[in-house]
Amino acid sequence: MSITRYKKGPRMSQAVVHNGTVYVAGQVADTRGGSIEVQTAEVLAKIDALLTEAGSDKSKLLAVNIFLPSIIDFDAMNAVYDAWLDKENPPARACIEARLAASTLNVEMTAVAAL
């Protein structure tokens, strides 16, 4: 059984590949306190980079989970997400309202993709 871990830290890996599947850990923006649009774009760029490093891309997404501390940001987040999404290959998706690790975070996303 082969498992490859990307960007390992003391607590977690940012992505893990196993059995032809890429699991991307929760990604948050570096621009703390930025608008939902800015943070969403940063999170999606991080997901893109991790998928690329692991040998995949957004056309192979299987599932995306989105966490918003304020569901009122749903439409603004979706405007950025929809522009980024591969429209021919949309993943399964969930979006929930949840408190995040810091009050300056407006969005967090996890993703699962095929290789």
Q: Select 3-114's CATH number: 3.40.50.970, 1.25.40.10, 3.30.420.40, 3.30.1330.40.
A: 3.30.1330.40
pTM over 0.85: yes
Q: Is the pLDDT of residue 1 over 90?
A: no
Q: Is the pLDDT of residue 109 over 90?
A: yes
Q: What is the DSSP letter of 91?
A: P
User: Measuring CA to CA, which residue among 47, 39, 42, 41 is closest to residue 23?
Assistant: 47
Q: Is 34 left (phi over 0), alpha (psi -120 to 50) or beta?
A: beta
Taking the domains of the chain in order of start, what are their residue ranges?
3-114
pLDDT in tens, 24-56: 999 999 999 999 999 999 999 999 999 999 999
